[in-house]
Each structure stands twice: as structure tokens, then as C-alpha cells.
């Protein structure tokens, strides 16, 4: 097991590394690169191909690139990986990719057979064969399946097929029994649709019904009931949101005796209005807008994101409350507290799962995972901590089929464990027992002998202690020369827990590099307060925390600016972009993946309006005043020396617009900075559509990192940005 050291690092940073003054707001100016927002325009794609060729020439020409790409692809295509499974009816389903099934094979087996070393898989959908037959570049988008009282009656799914990996997908009805698409069945054209089965002949559907039917974020504004055999245009509207809302959705609970239909309207990324459909009417569920809500059998569960005061009692942000569902709907607020956070323990946002009679909680204890089982008996909730590996990351998946009254797996669940040096192990557990069955264990894809993991704390600009993990290669000493990659995210209450990365292990740690994960504010490591401390006007705290971790690594001589790089994607791409413009002197490499960077226009590009609740609205002068201070696209300057940056994105990313990376790269090139840029034509927000594309992209990134941070690394910029 890794050796975790919980030590507070109190280092004084030399004056040369002191944090810079916060600038005043930047006035928006004419943007000369809006033409790069034309995703598939001839001029844009010509620019992309030219940049790709330049980057490939620099990064793929090195002697280690082919071997790294080959090894990464070998790992991704390995038949020894744990097949991730999902229960549908009486089978366990898995989407499998390897060198034969590049886009994926959707297949199934029984649980008892899955436990064998070589399960007998039955092919259900061959994505590669389907794509060839239909002349489409299909990428798996998921399956929404019909619940039923018996496995045999759970024989229909709505299959989502994405072109090139985009979020938008085509939906088609599929018959699991015959393993074929249903002729004349339910079907939806390409859109960011949402579907849910009401019964065998009725769907809740949200899709692009025509002009005005989508929100500004690009998601369905309407939920309709669509009856089999009728045109989509005749579907009956049951919920309508405002165009400035984020999306609408529906959920059907098929539990016998507790059948319920819920509809939801997301006002922003965190605030939702929830309704119970009863006798054809929508009954509002009176909950705090930011609180998560679940119904399970006779119970209602509430997880507030901020302090919740009701009937004279205040419940802490991040707590979990339980009440009788019917009483709650009548207006009673008699809660029992199932979890209350502490300074170091938090309930993962949404970290709740249900067997038939138990509630399973996934907790974070100083960023590592624990599991608790809760059971209501003798008039009270009884709590039991599940014995499981620690410290690492645990994920829990219930196998309970709510629709079945007689389900042999009603009290069973899967537990997946991994940490930085321990590959994933999958267990089959049962409530009330500490004797889980080991189902699968992933092989070790790199030799971890002699490597070690430590947890440390940096002190941020405002005095907040910020934890981070360091994974050190064998033989590492504190001499300031370790090639080190600092990774972070810091947004949307998403936690960065320990995880096993075969790519980083084989292509970085095994070569002598160190890997660091920063648990900065904006994430959910210590509950919702850790997140809300770094949103909107306080977003700079995420960047201050990340900078503090970098400074702490340098002060402890784990590395030095010459050998320190940073990496982040999506919101993490914004993170490293902002830190690049504020403290270029701390880093010698930046991998900025599928990023947000133009914070003046993020809300006008694709799904960007969805994230105003996280960043603020740049159209409001008071909010642009603080956004403009960190917006990377508006703070990069020609008179500052920056380390060379590698930007990566995807043409088919219809979540974060590729223009963010395109325009930032173009502006930096115009200013005379060294920039590498690589845009995968397919891949969606994940950056790649299959294992070959993913291996190629990662090999480019590791080639870049080793060139920039290895023993022959060039010097970094020598001073922080003057931001007066």
C-alpha cells in the first residue's frame, strides 16, 4: 500500500517567486480570430491541418514516439483489462474495444460466467460492422433500456450512436432478444436528446423538435410524451423550460408499489426544479433548488449544497437527510441525518446508491474513499462501515433491479478499487457482509516496485491548506531535477481522488518522471463548501491553490521550474491556461486539453451557457470585471516569455468549442510565442474516438512532456508576469 504522509508544508516562497498583483478588468476588444469558430469551415480546417502537421513533425519524429504509441495501444487493446459491466435484465453488458473492434463491440454474459477467467460473451452490436454497413463513423453513445417485472420483458433499448464521438447522437430502438434494430420503432435524428421509457409503447423524449425547442446551452427545452406509432410532431408536451434554462429531463421509477414519474427543469448547472407527475399533473417537489433529491421506495433523500434551515433546524451543506416520501410531499420536514460532513470527511456529490433495503454511501476521507451501508430497522437508521481497501478510490454500483419484485441480486453491488500504484480490482459485495467476492483484477501495466505515493499540503495565498498527492518514481531524491507533471481540475465539485493510470505509469513514471495531483478548491474533495469557495468572483482561488502546490513542490525540491510541467483538460484546461498567463516562471511545459480559454465568449459557444453558474456572466460588466482578470485569451501578452504550450482538442467536441484552443494558439503565434497545436478530427470532448486515436494523442503528449521536462530540458522564463 502507498505510504501517505499527512504533513503540513509551511514554506516561505522566495521573493523571485512571489505571487503577482491582481490586475484590473480588461476591456473587451475586437477579436480577429472569430473565423476559427467556424468548426468545419475550409479556412479553419486548413489552419488546423497546418498546425497538426507542424506539431507531428516536432513530436512524432523523436525516437521514443513509435515505441510509446505502440505500448499505449497495446495496453488499451489488452484483453486482460477489466470489462466494465452494466446490468440489464438477466445479463451483464459491456462495451469492448480492442485492435479488432476499434469502435466497440456491445456484448453480454451472465454474472456467473463473468466471474470466470474467460467469460462466454455474446455479441449484441458490432459498432465497426454497423459503421461499415451504413458508411458512418459511429461511436457508442449509450443505451437507455426498458424496465420490466421480469428479465424477459426488459428487451428493448434506445441506442445512442454518435458521429465521431460528439455529444449529439442518433437514437434508435433496439430489440435485445433478436439483437436487431426495430423496424419502424422509435427513432430520433441527431441531436443532444434525452429519452426515458414510460412503458413499452411510450417514451418521455426531449430533443430538437424544431426552432425554439432547445435551450441556449443546446439541450432540450421540452419534455414530451411520445406514443408508439405516432409521429414525433404529435407528441404531447408535459414540461416546458425557459430558453435560458440549461435542460429538461425525465426519470421513471418502476419499483413495484412505488411507481413514480419525475420531471426536472435545470435553471442552471446547479439549480433544478423537480416535479412529480401525478394523475397527469405536475406537482412541484419543495426542495432547495441546489439540493440533490432521490426517492427510493418509501423514502425521500436530500443532499443540500448550502446550509439548509427548515423548522428551526439548520443542516450543513453536504449532509444527507432522509424523510418519509409521502410526508415530505405533504409538507412535513421531519428529517433524519444520515451523514454530516466534518473538516476532512465529505459525501461524494451524488455518492449514494440503493439496494432493495440498504443505502450505500461513498465518502471521502482526506480525499480517499470509504463506503458505508445504511439500513432502516426497528424505527431507526443503522450504520455500518464496509471493510474495503484504503486509501484509494472506491466506486459503487448497485445490481438491484428496481423493476423486479423477485430479484436474486436485490442486495448485491459491485465495488471497484484502485489507487495510484494498484490497478483496479472489482468485487461483488452483498449488504451485511464483509466477505466480498473478487471478480476481476486488472494486470499491472507498469512495474511499481520502488515507487511511492505521498500526500502533502501546500498553503495557498489566503492561508488555506491545499492537499496534493505525489507519485514518485523509484530512486527519486529531493534534488530538484525530477521531471514532474502537475495535474489539476478544480471545478464543478468534481473530486480528484487517487487513480491508476496505466498510461502515466508506463510512459512517465517508469521513465523516471513524477506525477502530482492537486486537490484545489473548486473541486469536491471536502464537500460543496470546497467547491463554492472557488466559483464566480472567487475563481482565482483555484489558480492560487494550484500555484501554491507548484511552489511547494519547488520548495521541497521535488522538482524545479525547469523540470515542472502542468496538465489539465476542459475546466482543467482553463486552469492551466490561467496559471500560464499568471506564473509562467514556475513551469517549463503546459498540456492544455479541450480547454475553455476565451472567457468573454464561452457562454455563446456550444454548451457554454450551461456554465455561467460556475464562472459568471461576461455580459454583465460587474462579472466581466473578475472574469477578465483570469481569462487566458485576454491576458496572454507579447512582451512576456512563456514556456512552449501544447494545445489539444477535437473538431467533434460539441461541448467545449474547439475555437477556444484554436484562437488561443493563433493569438500566441501572432505574438511570437512558441506553440504546438494538435486537433483530432474525431473524438468529441474525450479527444479521441477509438484506442488508436487515443494512443496517438497520448504519445504526442508524453513526447512533448519528456522533451520539455527531461534531463535535456531548456531553461524556463525567469520572472513572474508583471500584472500591475
Residue 3: pLDDT band (50, 70, 90) is very low
User: In the predicted model, is pLDDT for residue 18 greater than 70?
Assistant: no
Percent of the chain surpassing pLDDT 90: 92
Residue 548 to residue 571: CA distance in whole angstroms: 19
Q: What is the pLDDT of residues 244-277, one digit of tens each?
A: 999 999 999 999 999 999 999 999 999 999 999 9
% of the chain at pLDDT higher than 70? 95
Say if 13 falls within a structural domain: no
Residue 441, pLDDT score: 96
Contact 508, 485 (CB under 8 A): yes
What is the average pLDDT across 204-227? 97
pLDDT for position 14: 31
Q: Is the pLDDT assigned to residue 11 strictly greater than 80?
A: no
Tens digits of per-residue pLDDT, 486-518?
Answer: 999 999 999 999 999 999 999 999 999 999 999
Domain assignment present for residue 476? The answer is yes
Q: Which residue range is the domain that position 652 belongs to?
A: 53-72+445-709
Flag whether 475 is in a domain: yes
Q: Is the pTM of this model over 0.85?
A: yes
**Model confidence over 414-439: pLDDT tens digits?**
999 999 999 999 999 999 999 999 99
CB count in 10 Å sphere of residue 22: 13
CB 220 within 8 A of CB 610: no
Q: How confident is the model at residue 716 (pLDDT cuts 50, 70, 90)?
A: confident
Categorize the per-residue pLDDT at 15 as very low, low, confident or very high, splitting at 50, 70 and 90. very low
**Number of compact structural domains in the chain:** 1
| Average confidence (pLDDT) over 526-542 | 98
* 27 pLDDT higher than 90: no
Q: Which residues are catalytic?
A: 570, 685
* Domain contains 256: no
- Does 569 reside within a domain? yes
- DSSP per-residue letters across 318-371: T-EEEEEHHHHHTT----EEEE---SSEEEEEEEEEE-SSEEEEEEEETTEEEE
Q: Where are the beta strands (DSSP E) in 594-651?
A: 645-650
- pLDDT above 80 for 698: yes
pLDDT exceeds cutoff 90 at 94: yes
Distance CA 385, CA 367 (A): 17
Q: Tell whether 471 is covered by a domain.
A: yes
Query: What is the structure's pLDDT at 28?
Result: 61
Span 329-379, pLDDT tens digits? 999 999 999 999 999 999 998 899 999 999 999 999 999 999 999 999 999
- Mean residue pLDDT of the chain comes to 94
The H or E element spanning position 577 is: helix 571-582
Whether residue 500 is contained in a domain is answered as: yes
521 lies in some domain: yes
Own/partner long-range contacts of 186-190 (Cβ < 8 Å, ≥24 apart): 186/158, 186/226, 186/228, 188/232, 190/163
Contacts of 593 (CB under 8 A, 6+ apart): 567, 568, 569, 570, 572, 573, 647, 648, 649, 687
At 718, is the pLDDT very low, low, confident or very high (cuts 50, 70, 90)?
low
Region class of 606: left (phi > 0), else alpha (psi between -120 and 50), else beta? left
CATH number at residue 532: 3.40.50.1820
User: What pLDDT band is residue 714 in, cutting at 50, 70 and 90?
Assistant: confident
Rounded Cα distance, 415 and 361, in Å? 12
Supply the pLDDT for residue 2.
Answer: 36
| DSSP E strand stretches across 164-298 | 169-175, 180-181, 187-191, 194-199, 202-206, 222-227, 236-240, 247-253, 260-266, 272-278, 281-284, 292-296
Q: How confident is the model over 160-179, as pLDDT tens digits? A: 999 999 999 999 999 999 99
pLDDT at 61: 84
pLDDT at 719: 56
Q: What would the pLDDT profile of 37-68 be if each residue is shown by its tens digit?
A: 999 999 999 999 999 999 999 999 877 899 99
Q: Are 484 and 589 in contact, with CB atoms under 8 Å apart?
A: no
Distance in angstroms (rounded) separating the CA atoms of residues 161 and 130? 10
Amino acid at each position: 500500500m502507498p505510504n501517505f504522509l499527512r504533513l503540513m508544508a509551511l514554506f516561505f516562497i522566495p521573493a523571485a517567486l512571489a505571487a503577482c498583483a491582481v490586475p484590473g478588468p480588461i476591456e473587451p476588444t475586437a477579436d480577429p480570430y472569430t473565423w476559427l469558430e467556424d468548426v468545419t469551415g475550409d479556412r479553419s480546417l486548413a489552419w488546423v491541418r497546418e498546425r497538426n502537421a507542424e506539431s507531428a513533425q516536432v513530436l512524432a519524429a523523436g525516437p521514443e514516439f513509435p515505441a510509446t504509441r505502440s505500448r499505449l495501444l497495446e495496453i488499451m487493446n489488452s484483453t486482460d483489462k477489466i470489462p466494465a459491466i452494466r446490468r440489464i435484465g438477466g445479463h451483464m453488458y459491456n462495451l469492448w474495444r480492442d485492435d479488432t473492434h476499434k469502435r466497440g463491440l456491445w456484448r453480454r454474459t451472465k454474472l456467473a460466467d463473468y466471474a470466470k477467467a474467460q467469460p462466454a460473451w455474446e455479441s449484441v452490436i458490432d459498432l465497426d460492422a454497423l459503421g461499415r454497413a451504413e458508411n458512418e463513423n459511429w461511436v457508442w453513445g449509450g443505451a437507455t433500456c426498458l424496465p420490466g417485472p421480469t428479465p424477459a420483458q426488459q428487451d428493448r433499448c434506445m441506442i445512442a450512436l454518435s458521429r465521431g464521438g460528439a455529444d449529439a447522437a442518433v437514437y434508435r430502438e433496439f430489440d435485445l432478444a433478436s439483437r436487431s434494430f426495430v423496424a419502424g420503432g422509435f427513432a430520433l435524428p441527431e441531436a443532444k436528446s434525452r429519452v426515458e421509457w414510460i412503458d413499452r409503447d411510450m417514451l418521455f423524449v426531449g430533443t430538437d423538435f424544431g426552432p425554439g425547442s432547445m435551450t441556449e446551452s443546446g439541450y432540450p427545452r421540452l419534455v414530451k410524451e411520445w406514443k408508439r406509432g405516432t409521429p414525433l410532431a404529435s407528441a404531447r408536451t408535459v414540461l416546458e423550460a425557459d430558453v435560458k434554462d440549461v435542460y429538461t429531463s425525465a426519470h421513471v421509477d418502476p419499483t413495484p408499489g412505488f411507481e413514480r414519474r419525475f420531471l426536472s427543469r435545470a435553471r442552471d448547472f446547479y439549480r433544478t426544479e423537480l416535479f412529480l407527475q401525478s394523475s397527469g399533473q405536475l406537482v412541484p417537489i419543495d426542495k432547495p433548488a441546489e439540493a440533490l433529491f432521490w426517492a427510493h421506495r418509501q423514502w425521500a433523500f436530500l443532499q443540500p449544497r448550502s446550509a439548509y434551515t427548515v423548522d428551526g433546524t439548520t443542516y450543513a451543506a453536504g449532509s444527507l437527510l432522509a424523510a418519509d416520501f409521502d410526508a415530505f410531499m405533504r409538507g412535513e420536514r421531519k428529517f433524519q441525518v444520515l451523514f454530516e460532513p466534518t473538516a476532512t470527511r465529505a459525501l461524494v456529490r451524488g455518492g449514494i446508491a440503493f439496494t432493495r433495503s440498504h443505502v450505500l454511501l461513498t465518502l471521502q476521507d482526506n480525499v480517499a474513499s470509504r463506503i458505508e451501508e445504511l439500513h432502516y430497522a426497528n424505527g431507526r437508521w443503522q450504520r455500518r462501515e464496509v471493510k474495503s481497501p484504503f486509501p484509494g478510490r472506491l466506486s459503487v454500483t448497485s445490481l438491484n433491479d428496481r423493476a423486479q419484485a423477485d430479484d436474486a441480486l436485490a442486495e448485491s453491488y459491485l465495488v471497484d478499487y484502485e489507487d495510484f500504484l494498484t490497478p483496479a480490482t472489482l468485487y461483488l459485495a452483498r449488504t451485511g457482509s464483509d466477505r466480498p467476492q473478487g471478480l476481476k483484477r486488472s494486470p499491472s501495466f507498469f512495474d511499481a516496485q520502488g515507487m511511492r505515493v505521498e500526500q502533502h499540503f501546500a498553503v495557498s495565498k489566503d492561508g488555506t491548506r491545499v492537499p496534493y498527492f505525489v507519485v514518485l518514481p523509484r530512486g527519486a531524491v529531493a534534488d530538484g531535477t525530477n521531471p514532474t507533471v502537475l495535474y489539476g481540475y478544480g471545478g464543478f465539485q468534481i473530486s480528484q481522488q487517487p487513480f491508476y493510470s496505466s498510461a502515466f505509469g508506463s510512459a512517465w513514471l517508469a521513465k523516471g518522471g513524477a506525477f502530482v495531483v492537486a486537490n484545489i478548491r473548486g473541486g469536491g474533495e471536502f464537500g460543496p463548501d470546497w467547491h463554492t469557495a472557488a466559483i464566480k468572483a472567487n475563481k482565482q482561488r483555484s489558480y492560487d491553490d494550484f500555484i501554491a502546490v507548484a511552489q511547494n513542490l519547488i520548495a521541497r525540491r521535488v522538482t524545479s521550474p525547469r523540470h515542472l510541467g502542468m496538465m489539465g483538460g476542459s475546466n482543467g484546461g482553463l486552469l492551466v491556461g490561467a496559471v500560464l498567463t499568471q506564473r509562467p516562471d514556475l513551469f517549463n511545459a503546459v498540456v492544455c486539453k479541450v480547454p475553455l480559454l476565451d472567457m468573454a465568449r464561452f457562454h455563446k459557444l456550444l454548451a457554454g451557457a450551461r456554465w455561467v453558474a460556475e464562472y459568471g456572466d461576461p455580459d454583465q460588466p460587474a462579472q466581466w470585471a473578475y472574469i477578465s482578470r483570469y481569462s487566458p485569451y485576454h491576458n496572454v501578452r507579447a512582451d512576456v516569455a512563456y514556456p512552449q504550450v501544447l494545445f489539444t482538442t477535437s473538431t467533434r467536441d460539441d461541448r467545449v468549442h474547439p475555437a477556444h484552443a484554436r484562437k488561443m494558439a493563433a493569438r500566441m503565434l501572432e505574438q511570437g510565442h512558441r506553440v504546438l497545436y494538435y486537433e483530432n478530427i474525431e473524438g468529441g470532448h474525450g479527444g479521441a474516438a477509438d484506442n488508436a486515436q487515443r494512443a496517438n494523442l497520448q504519445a504526442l503528449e508524453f513526447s512533448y512532456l519528456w522533451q520539455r521536462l527531461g534531463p535535456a530540458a531548456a531553461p524556463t522564463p525567469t520572472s513572474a508576469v508583471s500584472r500591475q
